[in-house]
Structure 1
Amino acid sequence: MSLKGIHSAHFLGIGGIGMSSIARWCTSKGIAVSGYDRTPSALIDELIKEGVKISFEDSLATIPDEIKKNKEKCLIIWTPALPEESIQLSYFRDQGYTLLKRSEMLGNITDGKFCIAVAGTHGKTTTSSMIAHLLYQADVPVTAFLGGLSQNYQSNFLLSGKKGKDTVFVVEADEFDRSFLWLKPSIGVITSVDADHLDVYGSEDSMILSFTDFVNLIHKKGKLFIQTNANQKLNKPSGKKLKVKEYGLRSSQITAENIKAKPNSFVFDYQDGDHRITGIELPIPGYHNVENALVAIAIGLSQGLSSQQIKEGMKSFKGVKRRFEIHLSKPTCVYIDDYAHHPEEIRSLLSSVRAMYPSLKITAIFQPHLYTRTRDFAKGFSESLSLADEVILLEIYPAREKPIAGISSEILLEEITSSRKEVIAKENLMESLSTRNLEAVITIGAGDIDRLVPEVAQFLSSNNTVSEL
């Protein structure tokens, strides 16, 4: 649909990371934005400061008058995370408003534009943020919709360039609810294809087929950059002659050499057969982030960036909030917080921490996310968490789900092989930490575990005289 003539947009679930970035795009276009969400948050506070009208009551009384009076010139943007029984959602449907899911709106915004879409079961937020940052630092006009808060810009939305000049769109292509199938990218990226969201797809084969559908949406003269393991899993797209480039840390067309793990960074050389860039410094640690950097660099080069611009951009990249975020650092004690919520993400995270701090004991504090994900990947979670010396499990964060009989954090405990392991309530975490000799502490999860981060950081700082980064 055309977005011309739209004067206002009302967002249901506006506090979501993907929803709020679209809301910011709307305000940048002069569209009056309002919205509803269940609970306040720091992200919502920022939107309110930017002039967005937001209510926390799902009622007809809190819908702004301009939304009620201008149905023809108004869009209702909603998220699938919203309960079907939502009062406002039901009202807008009954009254015949134009309703778009978040993914449909993103597809409309980028339709016909040069779009770089980053898909993958993990790694897409950091990778899309890297790409956007490299382009921005090189003065390439860019509009980016990110799935996390960029530490460089303290935002999930990035807009640069002069009005009227062609811009490069960088978007995170979310596989949940098959959202990424609304996009028609010029350049596609697939960072990983590991089984996830089985509550949506039913099977890994079905999920893989959806990624194949995503590839088939890439422009016929476009490019696909795909991680080595993902390429091995993906069915070969039909009817397309895309330029496909494989990247990874081993046996790939685009790869890294001479990787060196330092306490707070990684250094490596980039090699793709045509280009070699030596001594690239990446301030956000982790082997998985080196892999993410490979495809960001390859895309930067494809857009005309020089080796010097690449090196400067990478060195200045501060990462994404809650992606390997180092809060405290000292030779004898570190504290890292990470959004990881899939077994493979946890495996990469803890392997990198072990490489960076080989002499420190690792204490992992994990809050499982979703009952279905915990049930479907229980064995994988137990195996990956066993890379830590000690494991503390919090109860499952349900998000959009209702409890499933017999599924709790307890089912992970038995197969974890770490020397010390337990399940505790969130409110008892600090007491448990006070009984331990803590060296490398990692909080992990996509639920509300992030609310504990300031308290954990303060505790470690005061008890270990740890210097903040």
Structure 2
Amino acid sequence: MEIQDLAKSVGGKLYGNVDFFSIDGFTGKFTFLNDAHTGDIVIRHWINATGIEMAFNKNIACLITQTPKDGAIETAERLNFPLIVTDKIELANAYALSHTIDKFSPNSTNIVITGTNGKSTTSHLIYHILKTAGYHVLTNTDSESEFNTLIDPMVSKLISDEVLENGELDYLVIEVSEVQGWLGNLMENHAALMTAAANPKVAVITNIAMDHIGLVNSIEDVFDEISTVPKAIGDGVCVLNHDDELVMKLDAQNPFYVSMSEIGNLNAVCYNGSEIVHDGKSILTAEELPFTGYHFIQNILSAVGTAISLGLDIETIRKGVKSYKALNRRFAKLNDSPLIYDDFAHNPDGIRATISETKKLLKDNQKMFVVCAIRGSRGVEINQLNVDALCESMDDNVELILSSSNDVVNELNIVTAEERDVFFNTLKENDIDFIHYETLKECLTETYQKADSDDIILLIGAQGMDPAESLLKDII
């Protein structure tokens, strides 16, 4: 690779040096500044003069950034160090992913999963099925969904590290955020960029719903972001949720449908209420499924549809699904008495679906406590949609408890006064009683002490609820 070609490919301007800095050129690895070694390329959303000096001392090949600050360009020129400045950091990270796959995993079969809800569970299920089948497989899915962006070169680093340590990959399962941005600015066509960079044989689109308020402001905006994904996979298979009206408006060249009812299409996998069926044949009965909530079965269908599209035999798929254990915070059972479930429900659809499924577990005289962490520093709009979803989900058997979780979140996730007020005001307008706690520890302690042994406690929310499991261990 020539550095001038690299700069052109990422839409960047080169400063400081007209060639790679390290003696042996570029190693082929894209990574972070702290982890970089001689000959690596670092991609950072912003860099200052101190960062340029660190890169110089580490003898890395070059550094790519979108935002040079505090004399970064001048320092690069003084040190004769190559700095590429691009207007869109996502172009650099998409290029890094494509280059990394070509160099380190050219023979792998790649799968991409995107959509508003269910990405992580679907990705992890596909990963588990393939791993159970004996393949060497890597996924970027983690329990907090932190590795699915084009803000940094995390996915590229994961791939190169895995291959260098454990050898060639058979499959790559890449979770892609349907909408992405930085500091309130939308990275347009993020999902399509990353999908194209991965060059997948199969892409899954779980659903299209509202999230990421501020980056997008309408469901039409979300649709526009996701609608370019089918084109990005070319003649690859596109696994589509037949039950989602907006997903069905997507123009996919080679669709494979999944549905919670029979749709009379041979190119589909469906759940008929008692079993998962494909081509008129039973694959798994309801009793064999690792979980039975509506939205979780939809995730299972997407994973099964992907496995079928990859050509895996039915017995291999059955074995993988039956042995699956859920990701952390994906309707995870934390306690039996009272029954405590924890779910990463952090947007309106997730809140509605999770509360609805939990209500189905209620028996006579049982009470349900919904403990919700308000989303901090995410804006009034998404919190308004979330509290609206809560209002729709409450009834006489459900008690609502809120937490600002000030004791466990960092400065990037602090609940603002405006975010708290939109929750309080909306609940009061809808005559819904609630209790609010500033700290998560007090919230969980009081709720646990309040609940009877046969009640159900449902924990929902994003960062503000993440430490709940560890806190509960001490409380219980």
The two structures share one fold, judged by TM-score above 0.5? yes
Equivalent residue in structure 2 for 1:169, among 163, 169, 172: 172
Question: Would you say 1:448 and 2:464 are equivalent positions?
Answer: yes
Match of 2:124 in 1: 129
Q: Displacement of 1:227 after TM fit?
A: 0.9
Equivalence map 1:361-372=2 (5 Å)? 361-369=367-375, 370-371=378-379, 372=381
Q: Deviations over 1:170-189 (max 9, x none)?
A: 11111122421212232111
Match of 1:298 in 2: 305
Q: Deviations over 1:353-400 (max 9, x none)?
A: 222343432111101222231134542232135596111112387847
Name structure 2 gaps, 5 residues minimum: 1-5, 11-24, 146-154, 181-188
3-state SS, counterpart of residue 434 of structure 2: strand
Question: Would you say 1:424 and 2:437 are equivalent positions?
Answer: yes
Distance of 1:210 and 1:455 partners within structure 2: 38
Q: Which moved more, 1:173-182 or 1:123-132?
A: 173-182
Q: Which moved more, 1:104-113 or 1:90-99?
A: 90-99
Q: Deviations over 1:5-61 (max 9, x none)?
A: 23665537x9xxxxxxxx8xx99xx98799999xxxxxxxxxxxxxxxxxxxx9866
Q: Displacement of 1:344 after TM fit?
A: 1.3
Question: Would you say 1:226 and 2:240 are equivalent positions?
Answer: yes
Name structure 1 gaps, 5 residues minimum: 15-22, 38-57, 79-83, 151-155, 260-268, 462-469
3-state SS, counterpart of residue 322 of structure 1: coil
3-state SS, counterpart of residue 131 of structure 1: helix
Match of 2:18 in 1: none
Equivalence map 1:366-381=2 (5 Å)? 366-369=372-375, 370-371=378-379, 372-381=381-390
Distance of 2:52 and 2:336 partners within structure 1: 47
Which is higher, the Rg of structure 1 or of structure 2? 2
Specify whether residues 218 and 401 from structure 1 end up closer, same or farther in structure 2 by C-alpha distance, changes over 3 A only: farther
Match of 2:110 in 1: 115
Equivalence map 1:38-57=2 (5 Å)? none
Question: Would you say 1:138 and 2:133 are equivalent positions?
Answer: yes
Distance of 2:457 and 2:317 partners within structure 1: 32
3-state SS, counterpart of residue 146 of structure 1: coil
Question: Would you say 1:11 and 2:32 are equivalent positions?
Answer: yes
One-letter amino acid of the counterpart of residue 354, structure 1: K
Distance of 1:77 and 1:305 partners within structure 2: 42
Q: Displacement of 1:249 after TM fit?
A: 1.0
Q: Deviations over 1:434-461 (max 9, x none)?
A: 65234211211112322233223443x3
Match of 2:316 in 1: 309
Identity of aligned residues (%): 20
Equivalent residue in structure 1 for 2:403, among 394, 397, 401: 394
Q: Deviations over 1:233-291 (max 9, x none)?
A: 55342xx6x221221212444211344xxxxxxxxx21122542143623345221111
Distance of 1:248 and 1:88 partners within structure 2: 55
Distance of 1:91 and 1:385 partners within structure 2: 59
3-state SS, counterpart of residue 442 of structure 1: strand
| Aligned residue pair count | 401
Match of 1:264 in 2: none
Q: Deviations over 1:136-179 (max 9, x none)?
A: 111234232214379xxxxx969689977563221111112242
Match of 1:212 in 2: 227
Distance of 1:236 and 1:32 partners within structure 2: 39
Question: Would you say 1:70 and 2:59 are equivalent positions?
Answer: yes
Specify whether residues 422 and 198 from structure 1 end up closer, same or farther in structure 2 by C-alpha distance, changes over 3 A only: same
Match of 2:358 in 1: 353
Distance of 2:143 and 2:73 partners within structure 1: 29
Specify whether residues 356 and 374 from structure 1 end up closer, same or farther in structure 2 by C-alpha distance, changes over 3 A only: same
Specify whether residues 431 and 244 from structure 1 end up closer, same or farther in structure 2 by C-alpha distance, changes over 3 A only: closer
Equivalent residue in structure 1 for 2:218, among 191, 194, 203: 203
Q: Which moved more, 1:223-232 or 1:109-118?
A: 109-118
Distance of 1:346 and 1:282 partners within structure 2: 22
One-letter amino acid of the counterpart of residue 222, structure 2: M
Specify whether residues 251 and 275 from structure 1 end up closer, same or farther in structure 2 by C-alpha distance, changes over 3 A only: closer
Equivalence map 1:212-291=2 (5 Å)? 212-219=227-234, 221-237=235-251, 242-252=253-263, 253-259=268-274, 269-273=275-279, 275-279=281-285, 281-291=288-298
Query: Which segments of structure 1 move beyond 6 Å, counting only runs of 4 or more?
Result: 30-37, 84-95, 160-164
One-letter amino acid of the counterpart of residue 245, structure 1: F
Q: Deviations over 1:405-458 (max 9, x none)?
A: 47543134225666x522221254145326523421121111232223322344
Distance of 2:73 and 2:393 partners within structure 1: 42
Distance of 2:307 and 2:262 partners within structure 1: 21
Specify whether residues 250 and 408 from structure 1 end up closer, same or farther in structure 2 by C-alpha distance, changes over 3 A only: same
Q: Displacement of 1:232 after TM fit?
A: 4.2
Match of 1:383 in 2: 392
Distance of 2:373 and 2:143 partners within structure 1: 19
Q: What's the RMSD between the two structures over aligned residues?
A: 4.2
Q: Deviations over 1:332-354 (max 9, x none)?
A: x2111111101211122122222
Match of 1:19 in 2: none
Question: Would you say 1:437 and 2:458 are equivalent positions?
Answer: no
TM-score (norm 1): 0.71
Q: Deviations over 1:100-145 (max 9, x none)?
A: 4485244544467642111110100000110111011112342322
C-alpha contact (below 8 Å) 1:161/1:167 kept by paired residues? no
C-alpha contact (below 8 Å) 1:362/1:440 kept by paired residues? yes
TM-score (norm 2): 0.70
One-letter amino acid of the counterpart of residue 380, structure 1: A
